[in-house]
Structure 1
Amino acid sequence: MPEQSPFDLAEGDPFGPHNLPYGVFSTADAPDRRRLGVRYGDRVLDLSALPSALPAAIHPHAELLAAPTLNPLLAAGRPVWQQIRAAVRTAVTDPAHRDEVAPLFHPLAEVTLHLPFEVADYVDFYASEHHATNVGRIFRPDAAALTPNWKHLPIGYHGRAGTVVASGTPVVRPQGQRKAPADEAPAFGPSLRLDIEAEVGFVVGTPSTLHRPVPQAAFRDHVFGVCLLNDWSARDIQAWEYVPLGPFLGKSFATSVSAWITPLDALDAARTAPPARDVPLLPYLDDTDAEPGGIDLRIEVRINGETVSRPPFSAMYWTAAQQLAHMTVNGASLRTGDLFASGTVSGPDPDQLGCLLELTQGKGPYLQDGDEVTLTAWAPGPDGARIGLGEVTGRILPAV
């Protein structure tokens, strides 16, 4: 039986020509050589070799595509992103180029995927009203679920860029201080309440100038693309340390991201209006007259192969454009490779909760050693197509 052509995708494949996410890979014969690639079905198109196959369309960008990380491409800006995306689409859809392009494909199962970009800064938000309300009720049963500032600004914290890892990287159970309310003193040891947080990450390409806030209208000029993200959380360490300055060691031990970054342009058909706001917003956050800032992403959370939740990203109260505007409104600058995340994605229904804290009402069970967590997602695309986001998988290893 002849081998299937890399151009012939199965019907409904979520990694078709409307998607074209970017990643970094290496091959068994050259394990130390990292190359840029685009996923197409169950293959990876080697972008570093594409200028030789399509010299007229893509040769001016050969140096960007020869880099071992996405950062030079991210920094090149939106016009270049669009030019390269158009050339890649031509490469995989135009029959006239099949002979030149076919040798540039590698089977996905035969390559090693890496962290696709060098992370500059990492910020995590708290943008789901459903999640914030559920957590507030668990931790503050006798007080208002939402803090007074929650509907006035996107709450966030700065995480640790150095512990952002690619999908498939094992997660070692963290150790730290923990203290239950009934304990007389804190104890030290492995976290007993290790949790997940199903989130969506946004990757910054074009940097900004210090002291120059980035308005919502400039969101597409600075943000390159989207990925799934799991912000692993040690709830017992977090509960003891977070007052008064917020998350620290309970979060900083690992954050997993997809090996594939989906360009924003691939999600145009999935744009949707965010939920109605019932509190007036200050001008820099007001998106009343802006293009729809929500994204209709359908996320699925699986633990050891069993689906435990399907959180809808369209339910998020704060949009990524608002988060970017708030993150820079004080004059803080963006850097190429900045990563900011949505916070836990949760919906209104019991099967739409994005973490075990919510799913179990804080009672557990939480993650055990050996458990494997996988996040997947898709969005509606043009002409009935589905746009798949690269999965995020991590297996829990015992504390060391």
Structure 2
Amino acid sequence: MSLGSPHPHPAGAHLRPPLGMALGVVAGSGRPGPSRIAAPVGDAVLDIASLAVAENGPHAALLHRPNLDGLLAAGRPAWREVFGWLAEQLADPDRLSGHLLPATGVVPVLPFTVADYVDFFACEQHAVNVGRIYRPHAEPLTPNWKHLPLGYHGRAGTVVVSGTPVVRPVGQRGPGDAGPTGALDVEAEIGYVLGGSGGVPGEPVELAHALDHIFGVVLLNDWSARDIQAWESRPLGPLLGKSFATSISAWITPLDELAAAWIDPPPRDPQPLPYLLGPTDRGLDLTLEIWLNGELVSSPPAADLYWTPAQLIAHLTSNGASLRGGDLLGSGTVSGARREQRGCFLELSRNGAEPVSLADGSSRAYLCDGDEVVITATGPAVGGGRLSLGEVRGTILPTTSRI
């Protein structure tokens, strides 16, 4: 099974810009000094720090830092000032002269310090597909699935920026069996980058205010070693099956840029508890694509994610846990009803039973060393047309350790 389209972005283009406003952090370009906050402008990169100083932009001190941590902590009023000012600058190319860096001379840097990373399980179709694979003679959904957003607390220290290679992990795969994973997988997800005040410990974030904590959106690949994950997740986990690497886009798309992409959630039965209901309970109409070695293999739709961004935040804090600037929340794998919409190879190949056929005559049940995976996404743009989010890519390197 292959969608067979050529990749619009050549392999190795690690800083391919999105279409629309986005912020990130870059280093290099031959200039001395630390990394700098930047924005993509066509085939170039805008040095926001120098522009903010030259044009007396709002919160210039926050924009003159080596990452986005300070801006994330400043909260939504400051974000909107910066986004509004930046939109004005981008509309007047003459102002940008002298502040543009060639994209070929810079490299992406992880744009913020990841405080906590929590990955959810928000897609019903993914949950159903996985349930049918692992529990073919039982109900595919667990009894709690439609009552609350399920998730696991991941490892913030192994979140990496797009373009960072991923080394094939090793681990236990069964009784007396240990070694490199033979089932290395991708998970095409939406990531929500949080900021602002974390609130008072013990006081949940109400659904009505949850979106005020989202700075922006990235694409996220929660790389997974399915054989290690399956053996260790009985019943706890996952742990080593996922903790080795999680990749995110170099560019963060501000949430306000996605104002035209909001969509009502799918019908729910049973009705969630009151703390998970309200006007901000809406999803994002984004279409993701998974490219393997330049070939399109899947187009997962995010429009029907069962649990929405506001619900993830409301549930995460419902026990009194507080947020921190730099928290990263993953949606979990995005999948659709058709095979060509499934967001991981576990589903695409039915855990290896139906390998994915590629245009070069090869096939994949799971990833091979040397494979490059790129995840892209588009959504409705304010004013019409479509915008694209920053891609996330990674290449698989051979195992370097043993157990």
Q: Distance in 1 between matches of 2:76 and 2:219?
A: 21
Tell me by how many angstroms 1:111 deviates.
1.1
Q: Is the 8 A contact 2:264 2:282 kept in 1?
A: yes
Q: Is the 8 A contact 1:271 1:292 kept in 2?
A: no
Deviation by residue 1:48-94 (Cα, 9 ceiling, x = unmatched): 11223322xx1x41110011010100111111111111111111113
SS in 1 for 2:389: strand
1:195 paired with 2:185, answer yes
* Paired position in structure 2 for 1:25: 26
SS in 1 for 2:62: helix
Q: Distance in 1 between matches of 2:223 and 2:391?
A: 15
Q: Distance in 2 between matches of 1:140 and 1:265?
A: 41
Describe how 1:292-331 pairs up with structure 2 within 5 A: 293-331=282-320
* Paired position in structure 2 for 1:4: none
* Paired position in structure 2 for 1:133: 128
SS in 1 for 2:276: coil
Q: Is the 8 A contact 1:74 1:204 kept in 2?
A: yes
* Paired position in structure 1 for 2:267: 276
SS in 1 for 2:275: coil
Deviation by residue 1:236-256 (Cα, 9 ceiling, x = unmatched): 000000112120000000000
Q: Distance in 2 between matches of 1:307 and 1:272?
A: 26
1:286 to 265, 277, 281: 277
* Paired position in structure 2 for 1:241: 232
Change (3 A) 1:46 1:14: closer
2:151 to 121, 146, 156: 156
Q: Is the 8 A contact 2:336 2:342 kept in 1?
A: yes
SS in 2 for 1:209: coil
Q: Distance in 2 between matches of 1:22 and 1:351?
A: 31
Q: Distance in 1 between matches of 2:107 and 2:212?
A: 31
Deviation by residue 1:207-235 (Cα, 9 ceiling, x = unmatched): 22211101111122211000000000000
Q: Distance in 2 between matches of 1:292 and 1:242?
A: 31
Q: Distance in 1 between matches of 2:286 and 2:74?
A: 27
Q: Distance in 2 between matches of 1:43 and 1:324?
A: 35
2:349 to 346, 360, 376: 360
Q: Which runs of 5+ in 1 are unaligned?
A: 1-12, 180-184
Describe how 1:340-351 pairs up with structure 2 within 5 A: 340-351=329-340
Deviation by residue 1:300-330 (Cα, 9 ceiling, x = unmatched): 1001111100000112100011011000000
* Paired position in structure 1 for 2:12: none
SS in 2 for 1:390: coil
Letter paired with 1:232: W
> Which is helix-richer, 1 or 2?
1
Describe how 1:87-106 pairs up with structure 2 within 5 A: 87-94=85-92, 98=94, 100-106=95-101
Deviation by residue 1:13-61 (Cα, 9 ceiling, x = unmatched): 9845xx3111001123136510001112222111111223322xx1x41
Q: Is the 8 A contact 2:17 2:40 kept in 1?
A: no
* Paired position in structure 2 for 1:390: 390
Deviation by residue 1:86-130 (Cα, 9 ceiling, x = unmatched): 1111111136xx1x4211111222211111110000000001000
Change (3 A) 1:165 1:15: closer
SS in 2 for 1:267: helix
Letter paired with 2:331: S
* Paired position in structure 2 for 1:177: 172
Q: Distance in 2 between matches of 1:140 and 1:259?
A: 37
Letter paired with 2:176: P
SS in 2 for 1:284: helix
1:220 to 186, 211, 216: 211
Tell me by how many angstroms 1:142 deviates.
1.1
SS in 1 for 2:323: coil
In terms of mean alpha carbon deviation, does 64-73 or 104-113 score higher? 104-113
Letter paired with 2:142: T
Letter paired with 1:45: L
Q: Distance in 1 between matches of 2:134 and 2:128?
A: 10
SS in 1 for 2:130: helix
* Paired position in structure 2 for 1:369: 369
Letter paired with 1:377: A
Change (3 A) 1:345 1:122: same
TM, length-normalised to structure 2: 0.90
* Paired position in structure 1 for 2:53: 52
* Paired position in structure 2 for 1:42: 43
Q: Distance in 2 between matches of 1:372 and 1:110?
A: 22
Deviation by residue 1:360-393 (Cα, 9 ceiling, x = unmatched): 1111511000000000011111222322110100
Q: Is the 8 A contact 2:281 2:308 kept in 1?
A: no
Q: Distance in 1 between matches of 2:152 and 2:281?
A: 25
Deviation by residue 1:333-358 (Cα, 9 ceiling, x = unmatched): 00010001000000111110000000
Q: Is the 8 A contact 1:14 1:385 kept in 2?
A: no
In terms of mean alpha carbon deviation, does 118-127 or 43-52 score higher? 43-52
Aligned residues: 373
Q: Is the 8 A contact 1:14 1:386 kept in 2?
A: no
Q: Distance in 2 between matches of 1:241 and 1:297?
A: 33
